[in-house]
Amino acid sequence: MAINKDKPELWKADIRKSVDFYNDWFMEFAPKAFRESRIKTARQVEDALANTNMLIDISTDILIKHPEALSMLRMSTCPPIARDRLTGLAGVPKNLINSMEKDYRIPPQMDFKALLDNLNRIGAIIKKMADPDIFVWLNRAKPPTPEEINRAATIIADRLCGSISDPIIRNAQEERQLASVEKWLLLKKYRKIDKENKFDEMEPGTFSFHKNIPVTNPDGNKINISVDIVIQPLSSKKTDFPLLIEAKSAGDFTNVNKRRKEEAQKMAQLKSTYSNDINYGLFLNGYFDSGYLGYEAAEGIDWVWEHRIGDFEQYGL
């Protein structure tokens, strides 16, 4: 039985309600999420400043010991330097920059002599372009005051958070969506279990978040795909395949239509690996227009709107 995919006459009204729901949340909670992230990031920037002797020591030894400081160092210049731009300016391999910023480590296979040369180039660029209006102590003998350090850390944290503001909001929104589902399921007497439990060993009446499910991709390789919400209905048997739900939120209409194939590809992999009877749906909040909904419906994917979370009952929950 379909929930919303076969009711296009309701889509326009639901889209308006979903957009209003998202906008109300954004206005009230997004600034708080951004502020909390900025406070946490400011502390990390202060640690990075301490590790580099207040930006005076950007030696190869420091960069090897604290590769995670590179994100802060890029935001310490005038103007701030993007990753790709630093790669070009310093003439260093892209994988070095990515490894330091994303994995917080030096590429283990890189030749040590080449590594030292590359890190020297990075350090030279940062020193040459360091913003004197932020790091006012760089051109004087007097060390920085605690107020100056705090001010600089806050400015750099603002720059870092500004460059990743969308992920900050997206993560906060996902946490809120999952909390809404958890609250609803707990009221229905479901029990949350650890995500390490295997999806095919879940007891009836249990649920879990961010669970890996092995599938076979089109190339025949085995891979894991992560599913946001996995629920084994109270009325099911332990051997039944659980209900799989993806939590989706969006702050504009453009990006959802760029990414709408992702769910269809994931469902296709699940069905080809397990069964065509797999129950896979979406939990939507925000800007999802008729084009997106029509595409998902044509692919056989149904959804529940967050502003009408009670529709989960139609999955037999």
Pairing relation of β-strands 280-286 and 243-250? parallel
Residue type, 208: S
Contact 61, 105 (CB under 8 A): no
Pairing relation of β-strands 222-232 and 280-286? unpaired
CA dist., res. 229 & res. 279, Å (int):
12
User: What is the dihedral angle through the alpha carbons of 94, 96, 98, 103, rounded to the nearest 10 degrees?
Assistant: 160
CA dist., res. 25 & res. 294, Å (int):
26
All structural domains of the chain, each given as residue ranges with its CATH number in brackets, are 8-30+166-315 (3.40.1350), 37-165 (no CATH)
CA dist., res. 19 & res. 104, Å (int):
38
Model pLDDT, residue 123: 93
Q: What are phi and psi of 262, to 5 degrees?
A: -60, -45
CA atoms within 13 A on the CB side of 63: 27
Model pLDDT, residue 161: 74
Model pLDDT, residue 237: 83
Model pLDDT, residue 243: 92
Averaged in consecutive runs of 10 residues, what is the pLDDT profile of the chain (317 residues)?
A: 89 91 82 77 86 89 91 89 90 92 89 93 92 88 88 84 69 89 95 80 90 82 87 86 91 74 85 84 91 91 94 92
User: What is the dihedral angle through the alpha carbons of 188, 191, 196, 202, rounded to the nearest 10 degrees?
Assistant: -80
